[in-house]
Structure 1
Amino acid sequence: MSPATPRTRRLAVVGLATASLITTLVAAPAAADPPDPAIDTGDPAAVAAASVTPSPPPEPATITNPVSSPFADSYADPAVLRGRDGWFYAYATSDPLVSGGEFGLMHMARTRDFADWEYLGTVFDDATRPAWAAPGSFFWAPDVRYVNGEYRLYYTVTDSLAKPGADPGIGMATAPTPAGPWTDIGRPVLESQVLAEAGATAFDLRDYDGAVNSPRELRSPELAATESARAAVPAYQGLIDPSVLADTDGSLYLYVGGFAGGPHVTRLDDTGTTAIGELQQIAVSDRYEGSYVVQHDGAYYLMVSAAGCCSSVASGYSVFAGRSDSPFGPFVDAAGVPLNQSRAGGTQVIAANGNRWVGVGHHAVVTDTTGQDWMVYHGIDRNDGWLNEPGGINKRPMLVDRLDWIDGWPVVNAGAGPSDGPEPGPVTGSALGITTDDPASGRAFRALTGSFASVPDDDGDAGQVAALRPGRRVPAVAVARELLRGENRVEADVRLAGADAEACVRVDGLRRGVEVCVDGAARELVVDARPGGRDVTAAVPERIDLEGWHTLVVTLEGDAVAAELQESRLGDPIARAVADVRRGGGVEGLLSLTARGAGADLDNLSVARLAEGPTTRVPDPEVGDVTYTQTFDGSLDDVLADGWTLLGEHPGLTTADGALSWPLTSGDIAGANGAGPVLVRDAPAGDWVLETDLELDLGTDTVRNFQQAGLLVMADENFFVRLSSVAIGHSRTVEFFTEREHQGVLLLGGHLDGPPATEITLRILRTENAAGEQLYRSAFSIDDGVTWRWGMTWTLPAGTDVRIGLQAGGGATPATTAAFEEVRIRDAA
């Protein structure tokens, strides 16, 4: 953005128009009425507006997760967009919509308020299905955008006709409305690519059967392809889960990729239909997928889902974030740890919290009319994980929760995690009596000069729009009948009626004023917050046609006014300008809409008080004093005599140098026939905290699946949770893993956190909920307990008898030894 010369002509015209308003608004209050201290009593127009009884502020509907339950049993990998018709549209992956249903070639639904929904059908049918996709291909993870005046749907095709085997690539379809009809462009935007290091990851698409999608244990031998079949086709990179970002220079970026190769970014050409340039990796493979990038306060935030989406009630799926000053990264977490390294970081955005929801992730972000962000994502009910038969398709309905920004980082419900009861939903309406999707209807505005009329959008899908047209020698000015007070967010879809036209939002009539304009002649977004001073401008990218619809957002907050011009209204502005308000005061007064030249059309106009979200996170759990310590200064027999029991084969296990020295073997407790070594004792009664100090050198970058060591809470050999430092493919991570049976199917899954370190302290907190169910939450520290990263919560039934202790194994090559310094039990605070 840059300063420009004063626009005195504009100020003079609008100022004159405001003065003329004195005779057109309702009368001022009687002299006996006490003056409103917010009103400049020297301005009769402001006093007149202040006398109008304020319309009630917009209220949110009450929503309850899963919000998709009125029309769907499952609605996975959701994407969301507000159409120009004012509806919010949600799209989902190609799983069946309901139990017993057929795969649906992706789904569409819409809502006005996120409480009441209407199912619209599938994106494709047999006649419109992309011809370049193989007959057995799935269609995953749609991402929807509004680019260059049309709706775009990007999606994963898991198998193309062009190459042998499962070769995922990214397709795109266009439509004149968000409800379709959708037409595929006839080729991939990004075609499949062979994995550079076949066999060097923990996940191979050749093992995929359509029911599971995990980086590790879910690929059972029964589901894996035979070795001969595997050898006949290459291993492809996991080019799945597309997401598009538009930037302020007009560039379009495609984020794509999952466990097989990792998340990447590449540029798209100006048409958005072809990937150009090289794929650049932005996060480690074998941990992350489902990339989604937004801009916030001038930075780029990459949010990615970690672990397996689809291990039913054992899914530890969750979302983490990294931040960068470039769309290409590097993205680092709140502690400065990069996401694209073997010991990857990531600041947790959402994870299971012990209520009904697990497997929470693969999300999109939408902003309501107050400026509050919301996460739209899927989850799995921990008591109802299958859509059809046990062991088949996961049941993943759509959830919506508040996304807060605290200390510069996104977090769901201030860190409380997914909700499972009634909550206030997104605000989608407007104050000042404005009919959002037909702004010129009703009595919210009065045309002062020119005309302000409700007309049909004959050239698009917006429905009724407000046509703001100047007179022969005067601009069009429409003024709100009510006074604007306090910190507000003003938003409108704007379409210039000519290339040289201009449309503005202005607040004045009090002690201060501000004007934000879309200037077609200069191709600029202009903020004028200092009458008689210099404007702040931002260039509109050349590929943008201002005679098409774009969203103008004006935020009046504190001592600043911020303006953004957006295409998709999804946190990716194409122009942004920020200015300080004159004399350090707030902006309040009369709201007016103006147009010059050929005029402008406006739609989806809203005015709402800025959201006042939480400024502090939900506090991390506190722990109590140490009540038990097991040291390893003596012999292993001394340990066993103190109430510990060894299970499984454990060659070389001994005590040495004050630690329990445990050489890793290939034995692993995980799996139906798991026989890995464990050291356990009875758990204490009530709530407690289990801790250990672990030294385990797993190196970095090389593949040494799945060497690990850590803590264990075990009901039996097929029902347990464990917290480990573990090697998965190229990544090193802290995994909070579970094995359990659900409706006759043995399930394995985990929550992936990090970064680990060679020396790490692991912690499991045990509490109970009101129903007596046992809640186990993970945490770890790599700085001797100075700071802790708290993870997700696994739940065990009430009354479950457990033993607690240590475990190690998962792989014998290369040789390495875990050293446990001691085991501690604390009181839970």
Structure 2
Amino acid sequence: MRRTSGRSRNRSRRAGPSTGPVRAAVLSTAALLLSLTAGLLPAPAGAAGGAQTAQIAQAAQTAQTAQTAESARSARAAADKPAPRAGTYTNPVTKGTVDTFPDPVTIRGKDGLWYAYGTQNPVFQSRGESAERMLPILRSTNMVDWEYAGQVFTPRNQPAWHGGSRLWAPDIRYTDGVYTLTYSVPGKNNIGVATAPTPTGPWTDKGAALPTPSGCPTGGIDQALFTDRDGTPYMYWGSYDTLCVARTNADRTRIEGEVTQVAQGRRMEGAFVIRRGGHYYLFYSDAGCCDGAFSGYQVKVGRSTSPAGPFTDAEGVDLMDRTSKGTAVAGANGNRWIGPGHNSLQTDLAGQDWLVYHGIPAEQPDLERTPGVDKQLSKRPTLIDRLDWIDGWPVVRAGAGPSAGRQQAPVTSWDVGSTFNDGSLDGWHAEGAGTDGWSLAEEKDARTHVTHAGGDAPAYLVSGRTAPARVRAEADLKAGPPGGAAGLTVGYRDPRNHVTAWLDRDRGALVTDVVVDGTSRGERVTALPRNFRWGDWRNVAVEVRGTRMTVEVSADRLGDPVATQERGLPAAAARAGKVGTAARGGGTAADNVGAVTAHTPVTSRVPEPEPGALLPEYSDEFDGAAVPGTGPDSPWSWVRGRAPGTAMTGGALSWPTQNAELSLNTDTASVLTRDAPKGDHTVETKIDFAPDQPAQQAGILLYENDDRYVKNVHSVLPLSHLDGAYTHVSEFGKEGERPTTTPPTPVANAPMFGGPTARTMWLRLAYHRDTARGEHEVRASTSRDGEHWVPNGVWTLPAKGDLKIGLAAMNRAGATARFDYVRTYGG
């Protein structure tokens, strides 16, 4: 377990004068409820740290054995012990808990803890266990220290309709008062659905979500749910190489209606959609997820003004266009993480978004071969990193990519607030009307929460301490029966001075009210969907920055709010104050009420490395009459002889593609090479190339030999499941020895995919010698105008021999590449 540092909140502050009779009533009610429910409550959720974990386990055992109210309260209090604030973490966050945890997705449960779900894998190999866990579940108090919490299915209760298939890529949502888990059943080319009353189960099989055929060329895999502002539920799915979307029925167990293709690309998969501002953002991964040190996976994104598209990348390229796409969110950056991808999103209590994804460690990229599994699996532990929104687009760590060193941890405990799972209202004050109406209640999922008995006038339960003026506050609320309204209050001074966001059942709306000196400064009403279920928990989040307030209403904080409202505040209301919950009418409930200082957004990207000065002695404008490599004084030389048909025409090297390859054991293509400078440098070429057949490719290389090189080429590749269809890609390929073979042998060749292609393109390879790791490190980028460059990821190779500058045009005859120049720049 990693340790975090910081201060814990004081949960035992003395109550103010107005809480005395309230507390007595609360404790009386709580004691009765706890006595009734002793022995029926779930085992306490995990904590962060060895001694703390042991204490929780002991408390849980005591509660289960004694089945008394006192022991149940003790167990819940231990589970509710807050994680330290503002600590640090180091990726992978699942280290020490599980060996691998691919395709992760997380949710904050209504008990105030975080839960993660992953693809079926042998997660405990290091403990000597070869069996796989079917959709394993982890639990955490702080998003960085995790404990194993079970699995969705076991070999004994796996639904028969799966046919024994492995289960992949879960997605979790809180819908209609239950947890809805969708997952891939690749053996049946379909998507399964299961529901549960708590994040750890018990799970009820709801069958397959897709008809046969599904209406999507790729069948069923890598799904994610999404709910639009009008309450319409959608499912996105697809892999190899098309992503689709369709509406689902009300309980999200079956798709229905039209199926729309929203994205196509080589090995595109892993859709995850959120809405932010006026756009829908479709996150996905492409290239290859699971090839160990040769995994080219990256997270990319497109956006749209409709959940059904069209989605475009930051270059304006439609995700359905037959070309590779740019706008990388996270890709390999040359540190230890290979193939980062298959993401979900999570938001911490300060409002900072986090990318949750997996990566492959360079030092140990593969799991051991597992009995009963038909192939070797890549080791893919879970990573988290800060997700920044810059100029309307998301990117990990402002463009720095996956982190390998110590990072600032998510904010996961309140400055002011409580989950109420300790069975106490110490530090809370009842104000306004009905001060004796507040009491504690119990549910299996949310556990202890507060309710109010009712009354027409507003009642408030507010913190004893003050929250900051720049604040993010949250609460899980239920508005109760008709006539009820439940609210989240911020900036509270007294009943005459506060800002409250109400879930108002009679008006069917989110209603915000700003009260200053006893006078409302105007309500703002935002309609909620007609199918809004008032009896279920809903999360309300309020963020105040200066005099601007933003309010969101969602089911589970996963980027699909059903209502968003922005409004200005008078200066008298935009100030520090208490946080709390409000109630009108009977049957309202609140849980997980608290506030912290709102996060500080990062608004500028990390600058991309720029080439240095031109190095003429390593450059060629191709303005001579002789083909490079044919004269005695040429700095160029040919591998396997001059390519047929090469010629100098119009100040360019004209090169017809060959029916020859440079791949694995088939090394028949000609390669034009020359020495590269020592030290860091960038090689650039301008190429005119219009391939029209699969496998045709041309571009630039850094080449040691036929088994050790990287290339950045304009290539044509077929699309899976679409007969005869192909796509143009910026292919950033690598060939080298696979480090996990003994001895290492040159058996692997794999791509990453870069920005969009064009007939005229500029291609770059930037070289860096990583002396600390003993590696060649190469980053690719592409441009369609020679000025604006789209960065790709980084491939590494163990440094053995020197890399030369190279050109090639190969794999299938019929197209001609025209190289305008090769220019080399210093580091």
How far apart, CA to CA, are the structure 2 residues paired with 1:689 and 1:114?
Answer: 39
1:759 and 2:749 are equivalent in the alignment: no
The corresponding residue for 2:7 is none
1:643 and 2:635 are equivalent in the alignment: yes
When structure 1 is superposed on structure 2, of 525-534 and 280-289 the one drifting more is 525-534
The corresponding residue for 1:517 is 502
What does the per-residue CA deviation read over 1:178-215, in whole Å, with 9 as the maximum and x for residues that have no partner? 101212113x111353898xxxxxxxxxxxxxxxxxxx
Equivalences for 1:376-775 in 2 at 5 Å?
376-389=356-369, 392-432=376-416, 434-438=417-421, 441-448=424-431, 449-451=434-436, 455-458=440-443, 460-470=444-454, 474-506=457-489, 507-509=491-493, 513-529=498-514, 532-582=520-570, 586-628=574-616, 629-632=619-622, 633-636=624-627, 641-648=633-640, 650-698=643-691, 704-729=693-718, 730-742=726-738, 743-744=740-741, 746-769=747-770, 771=772, 772-775=774-777
1:155 and 2:183 are equivalent in the alignment: yes
1:603: how far off?
A: 1.4
Amino acid at match of 1:304: Y
CA contact (8 A) 1:556 1:587 kept: no
Amino acid at match of 2:462: V
The corresponding residue for 1:140 is 168
1:128 and 2:165 are equivalent in the alignment: no
The corresponding residue for 1:110 is 139
Label 1:512 to 1:463 Cα distance change in 2 as closer, same or farther (>3 A): closer
Amino acid at match of 1:465: H
How far apart, CA to CA, are the structure 2 residues paired with 1:783 and 1:313?
Answer: 33
How far apart, CA to CA, are the structure 1 residues paired with 2:365 and 2:255?
Answer: 37
Q: Which secondary structure does the structure 1 equivalent of 2:293 belong to?
A: helix
1:332: how far off?
A: 1.4
What does the per-residue CA deviation read over 1:763-800, in whole Å, with 9 as the maximum and x for residues that have no partner? 1111233505322111111112x211111111222454
Amino acid at match of 1:714: Y
Q: Which secondary structure does the structure 2 equivalent of 1:497 belong to?
A: coil
CA contact (8 A) 2:326 2:790 kept: no
Q: Which secondary structure does the structure 2 equivalent of 1:509 belong to?
A: strand
CA contact (8 A) 1:439 1:466 kept: no
Label 1:400 to 1:778 Cα distance change in 2 as closer, same or farther (>3 A): same
How far apart, CA to CA, are the structure 2 residues paired with 1:631 and 1:245?
Answer: 52
Amino acid at match of 1:146: Y
Gaps of at least 5 residues in structure 1 are: 1-20, 27-55, 161-167, 197-235
How far apart, CA to CA, are the structure 1 residues paired with 2:437 and 2:550?
Answer: 26
How far apart, CA to CA, are the structure 1 residues paired with 2:646 and 2:436?
Answer: 86
Give the root-mean-square deviation of aligned CA atoms: 2.5
Amino acid at match of 1:139: L
The corresponding residue for 2:230 is 249
Label 1:584 to 1:592 Cα distance change in 2 as closer, same or farther (>3 A): closer
1:583: how far off?
A: 5.9
How far apart, CA to CA, are the structure 2 residues paired with 1:589 and 1:714?
Answer: 64
How far apart, CA to CA, are the structure 1 residues paired with 2:640 and 2:629?
Answer: 19
CA contact (8 A) 1:687 1:768 kept: yes
Amino acid at match of 1:89: Y
How far apart, CA to CA, are the structure 2 residues paired with 1:468 and 1:439?
Answer: 18
Q: Which secondary structure does the structure 1 equivalent of 2:132 belong to?
A: coil
1:82: how far off?
A: 1.0
1:514: how far off?
A: 2.3
How far apart, CA to CA, are the structure 2 residues paired with 1:736 and 1:461?
Answer: 48
What does the per-residue CA deviation read over 1:405-457, in whole Å, with 9 as the maximum and x for residues that have no partner? 1111111011100011221221111012x233538735332112434756342
What does the per-residue CA deviation read over 1:592-622, in whole Å, with 9 as the maximum and x for residues that have no partner? 4210111422112220111013210101101
How far apart, CA to CA, are the structure 1 residues paired with 2:349 and 2:101?
Answer: 25
The corresponding residue for 1:208 is none
When structure 1 is superposed on structure 2, of 474-483 and 297-306 the one drifting more is 474-483
Amino acid at match of 2:728: R
Amino acid at match of 1:70: G
Amino acid at match of 2:119: T
How far apart, CA to CA, are the structure 2 residues paired with 1:606 and 1:800?
Answer: 59
Q: Which secondary structure does the structure 2 equivalent of 1:626 belong to?
A: coil
How far apart, CA to CA, are the structure 2 residues paired with 1:556 and 1:309?
Answer: 40
Q: Which secondary structure does the structure 2 equivalent of 1:132 belong to?
A: helix
The corresponding residue for 1:222 is none
For this pair of structures, how many residues does the alignment match?
720
Amino acid at match of 2:221: I
What does the per-residue CA deviation read over 1:287-321, in whole Å, with 9 as the maximum and x for residues that have no partner? 42111111112321111111111121011110111
CA contact (8 A) 1:348 1:411 kept: yes
How far apart, CA to CA, are the structure 1 residues paired with 2:474 and 2:636?
Answer: 64
When structure 1 is superposed on structure 2, of 588-597 and 548-557 the one drifting more is 588-597
Label 1:747 to 1:642 Cα distance change in 2 as closer, same or farther (>3 A): same
CA contact (8 A) 2:469 2:577 kept: no
CA contact (8 A) 1:255 1:266 kept: yes
1:239 and 2:230 are equivalent in the alignment: no
1:759: how far off?
A: 0.5
CA contact (8 A) 1:662 1:818 kept: yes
- Match 2:124 to one of 98, 107, 122: 98
The corresponding residue for 1:3 is none
What does the per-residue CA deviation read over 1:496-531, in whole Å, with 9 as the maximum and x for residues that have no partner? 332321112233439974221011122211122475
1:246: how far off?
A: 0.8
The corresponding residue for 1:787 is 788
1:557: how far off?
A: 1.8
CA contact (8 A) 2:581 2:593 kept: no
How far apart, CA to CA, are the structure 1 residues paired with 2:572 and 2:667?
Answer: 67
When structure 1 is superposed on structure 2, of 388-397 and 600-609 the one drifting more is 388-397
CA contact (8 A) 1:566 1:574 kept: yes
CA contact (8 A) 2:755 2:781 kept: no
When structure 1 is superposed on structure 2, of 520-529 and 310-319 the one drifting more is 520-529
Label 1:58 to 1:335 Cα distance change in 2 as closer, same or farther (>3 A): farther
What does the per-residue CA deviation read over 1:627-685, in whole Å, with 9 as the maximum and x for residues that have no partner? 03213232125655422221246322222222111111232212233322211122211
Amino acid at match of 2:534: L
How far apart, CA to CA, are the structure 2 residues paired with 1:158 and 1:271?
Answer: 23
Label 1:505 to 1:195 Cα distance change in 2 as closer, same or farther (>3 A): closer
The corresponding residue for 1:207 is none
Amino acid at match of 2:405: G
Gaps of at least 5 residues in structure 2 are: 1-14, 21-81, 719-725
How far apart, CA to CA, are the structure 1 residues paired with 2:782 and 2:572?
Answer: 45
How far apart, CA to CA, are the structure 1 residues paired with 2:614 and 2:456?
Answer: 82
CA contact (8 A) 1:764 1:777 kept: yes
When structure 1 is superposed on structure 2, of 674-683 and 409-418 the one drifting more is 674-683
CA contact (8 A) 2:194 2:203 kept: yes
How far apart, CA to CA, are the structure 1 residues paired with 2:404 and 2:686?
Answer: 35
Amino acid at match of 1:502: A
The corresponding residue for 2:102 is 76
The corresponding residue for 2:44 is none
CA contact (8 A) 2:119 2:134 kept: yes
Q: Which secondary structure does the structure 1 equivalent of 2:429 belong to?
A: strand
Q: Which secondary structure does the structure 2 equivalent of 1:446 belong to?
A: strand
Equivalences for 1:30-429 in 2 at 5 Å?
59-99=85-125, 101-135=130-164, 137-160=165-188, 168-186=189-207, 188-193=208-213, 237-260=218-241, 262-389=242-369, 392-429=376-413
How far apart, CA to CA, are the structure 2 residues paired with 1:96 and 1:25?
Answer: 52
Label 1:583 to 1:370 Cα distance change in 2 as closer, same or farther (>3 A): closer
